[in-house]
Amino acid sequence: MSESASALLPNDIAGRPSWDAYFMAIVRAVATRATCSRRAIGALLVKNKLILATGYNGAPAGLRHCDHSAGGDLLNDHCVRSTHAEQNAIVQAARHGISIEGATLYCSNNPCQTCAKLLINAGVQRIVYEDSYPDDIAFGLLREAGIMTERLQSQP
């Protein structure tokens, strides 16, 4: 590209989302595939600005969807049928032989304790989430592992 052509290209186009906002918008789209009737969560694993895997919460593949009518599929106010979005993203990457070491996880909510431990062991380095889920133990594990966490405020 010539110098004159590159001078015509703006470095930052007004209204263009940051990479974090862009990936979080994709997370919201992924969440629309959730099969758990209680809540819809999406997850995205990204490395070097490339999407490695996606996941959403819901029942295991090929099984009936979660049904929380009349309190079904719930134990202690938690869905016992659903796999978390983060877990499904990790599984999707593993099934396709994709390393997620050094990746960033974008997710609707911060991870729970179990997801935090899986992400630590998988070598994820950064977690960006939109809504907070109250789990001080998960945050403590992530902090101890040196994984950066960042809350990205919801966009209208």
Q: Which of 3, 86, 101, 144 is catalytic?
A: 86
One-letter amino acid identity for 117?
K
H or E element that contains 22: helix 19-31
Find out whether 127 and 143 touch, Cβ atoms under 8 Å.
Answer: no
Find out whether 29 and 42 touch, Cβ atoms under 8 Å.
Answer: yes
Active site residue 86: yes
Find out whether 86 and 58 touch, Cβ atoms under 8 Å.
Answer: no
CB atoms within 10 A of CB 15: 5
The catalytic residue positions are 86
